[in-house]
Structure 1
Amino acid sequence: MNNPQNRPLQTDFNTVFGNDLDYPRLGNVTFRRGTLTPNQEALFAEHWPRLGAELADARLDIDAWFGRRGAKTIVEIGSGTGTSTAAMAPLEADTNIIAVELYKPGLAKLLGAVVRGEIPNIRMVRGDGMEVLMRMIAPESLDGIRVFFPDPWPKARHHKRRIIQSGPLNLFASRLKKGGVLHVATDHAEYAEWINELTDVEPALEFKGWPWPECPQLTDRQVITKFEGKGLDKDHVISEYLWEKK
């Protein structure tokens, strides 16, 4: 299936970048289904045109979208219901936050929090995070990328679907400015072991470990997200990772 611009729905990253790195193999990227309440539908109709965007083959004009020039910009891949996104944004008011998520009800919850809380520095994109970075974000334009509690795809046959692989790390690095920060968190022990094997795989990223007191962006999420809370309830360990773009 092609999109209106006659571009494949999923980028062939190995061909585009001319490498043999590992990228998530998801098949056709599809929007996760979900039903909105009438109130959420009304909220979307009124506020999404200003605060949200759909995956497209056009670079975002971030300054115009946020109505300010030169502010730091962070993209959060897989924002879920946006609990931590909405909680962190007021603590970093000088930073533009772009939350990327496929699940429309999750975006609706975040949109509601943004509107009710009058949070001025959050915008949202509905689409696959890899495609949004590839198509809508200019190279070396971001101050940060966040991937909090990505799907661990625990079954061995699904490991190829994980977002933290050599290919995505390379793409993340390409979109970060020099000195930009990649922040990843997981509460899945086996996924943490997987990430531990990849900390030094991308030559453009310097692994800083955790914690990193001199990190130029907020790393203390301040609130317990829904997924993190479930992990803590089960006595899971939260593993966090920070890299800096060289």
Structure 2
Amino acid sequence: MIDSQTPDPLPDDEVMNDENAKAPGDDSHHRRIKSFVMRAGRMTEGQQRGLDQGKERFVLPLADAPVDFDQVFGRSAPRTLEIGFGMGHSLLEMAAAAPEQDFIGVEVHRPGVGALLNGVLTQGLTNLRVYDCDAIEVLNRCVADNSLDRLMLFFPDPWHKSRHHKRRIVQAEFAELVRTKLKPGGVLHMATDWEPYAEYMLEVMNVAPGYRNLAEDGKCVPRPAERPVTKFERRGERLGHGVWDLKFEKLA
């Protein structure tokens, strides 16, 4: 049994509305339910600098065909994509610690994108690129099949309320989409700080075809050394909260 933890729920006014609203003039198709909420945030001077000076070089446009990332990075190297990097601290640390690997981050929160780009500029990193749009669109349109060595999803919004569970990014369709993008032997690495979401992700992934759970007990793996511990996580540990990592390998 996974240790329990109860986080603060999202305020109702932060929940996206009109989940099934139709686009203007469209009587046949519904808008796709998104797994994230666009929240406004004040930009710091450093974040704005990151956007102003780093966007042209490091932010990739949403393409209509798979991107040649070997050309983007100027080499062929192990490649990791992270969905929802937040303020970018972990992704920045991982990219700095593994210059022989390439990293792609996806985040819709502009202050987070700016913070990451500011860090990239400050540290002079060349092995990291960013998309500032919907991750599902990026996977569908920009990432070639069988091209990623790893996909990371750390602390996604668990959408606590039952009526919002359909907004959770981890669904059967997501698992299948990720599987098509991973190389054989590639790994989907997820982490959450909420027990019910960890159990839910296990339920989804344990029946997802084409994967193998890397946990010896078929549940969660010990915290991998390559995943940096965030300030948020350290605070949670002091309060007695837990974090659960899940790793699933794509079968050949």
Per the TM superposition, whether the score is higher than 0.5 is yes
Determine if the alignment matches structure 1 residue 242 to structure 2 residue 250.
no
Give the secondary structure class of the aligned counterpart of 1:197. helix
Q: Which amino acid aligns with 2:247?
A: L
Whether the aligned pair in 1 keeps the contact of 2:175 and 2:205 (CA below 8 Å) is no
Paired with 1:186 and 1:172, the residues of 2 have a C-alpha distance of 18
Paired with 1:169 and 1:127, the residues of 2 have a C-alpha distance of 20
Whether the aligned pair in 1 keeps the contact of 2:152 and 2:189 (CA below 8 Å) is yes
Instruction: Summarize the alignment of residues 12-23 of structure 1 with structure 2, pairs less than 5 Å apart.
Output: none
Judged with a 3 Å threshold, the aligned counterparts in structure 2 of structure 1 residues 166 and 222 are, in CA distance, closer, same or farther, namely: closer
Offset, 1:233: 3.3
Q: What is residue 49 of structure 1 aligned with on the other side?
A: 56
Listed as ranges, the gaps of 5+ residues in structure 1 are 3-7, 12-24, 213-217
- RMSD of equivalent CA atoms: 2.5
Paired with 2:64 and 2:202, the residues of 1 have a C-alpha distance of 34
More moved, 78-87 vs 55-64: 55-64
Offset, 1:39: 4.7
Judged with a 3 Å threshold, the aligned counterparts in structure 2 of structure 1 residues 239 and 102 are, in CA distance, closer, same or farther, namely: same
Whether the aligned pair in 1 keeps the contact of 2:149 and 2:186 (CA below 8 Å) is yes
Paired with 1:245 and 1:223, the residues of 2 have a C-alpha distance of 23
Paired with 2:102 and 2:224, the residues of 1 have a C-alpha distance of 15
Determine if the alignment matches structure 1 residue 26 to structure 2 residue 31.
no
Instruction: Summarize the alignment of residues 106-117 of structure 1 with structure 2, pairs less than 5 Å apart.
Output: 106-117=112-123
Q: How many residues align?
A: 221
Judged with a 3 Å threshold, the aligned counterparts in structure 2 of structure 1 residues 226 and 57 are, in CA distance, closer, same or farther, namely: farther
Determine if the alignment matches structure 1 residue 224 to structure 2 residue 229.
yes
Q: What is residue 169 of structure 1 aligned with on the other side?
A: 175
Paired with 1:149 and 1:30, the residues of 2 have a C-alpha distance of 14
Give me the identity figure in percent.
37
Q: Which protein has the bigger strand share? A: 1
Paired with 1:245 and 1:168, the residues of 2 have a C-alpha distance of 14
Determine if the alignment matches structure 1 residue 92 to structure 2 residue 98.
yes
Q: Which amino acid aligns with 1:107?
A: V
TM-score (norm 2): 0.79
* Equivalent of 2:206 in 176, 187, 200: 200
Whether the aligned pair in 2 keeps the contact of 1:74 and 1:144 (CA below 8 Å) is yes
Give the secondary structure class of the aligned counterpart of 1:97. strand
Q: What is residue 13 of structure 2 aligned with on the other side?
A: none
Paired with 1:10 and 1:138, the residues of 2 have a C-alpha distance of 25
Instruction: Write out per-residue CA displacement over residues 8-60 of structure 1, whole angstroms, 9 at most, x where no aligned residue.
Output: 9966xxxxxxxxxxxxx329x87543342355334322221111124342322
Determine if the alignment matches structure 1 residue 127 to structure 2 residue 141.
no
Whether the aligned pair in 2 keeps the contact of 1:59 and 1:136 (CA below 8 Å) is yes
Instruction: Write out per-residue CA displacement over residues 95-151 of structure 1, whole angstroms, 9 at most, x where no aligned residue.
Output: 110010010100111111111111221111111111111111011111110001111
Offset, 1:161: 0.7
Listed as ranges, the gaps of 5+ residues in structure 2 are 1-22
Paired with 1:225 and 1:105, the residues of 2 have a C-alpha distance of 17
Whether the aligned pair in 1 keeps the contact of 2:49 and 2:114 (CA below 8 Å) is no
Whether the aligned pair in 2 keeps the contact of 1:32 and 1:104 (CA below 8 Å) is no
Paired with 1:222 and 1:157, the residues of 2 have a C-alpha distance of 31
Whether the aligned pair in 2 keeps the contact of 1:58 and 1:136 (CA below 8 Å) is yes
Larger radius of gyration: 2
Paired with 1:219 and 1:91, the residues of 2 have a C-alpha distance of 14
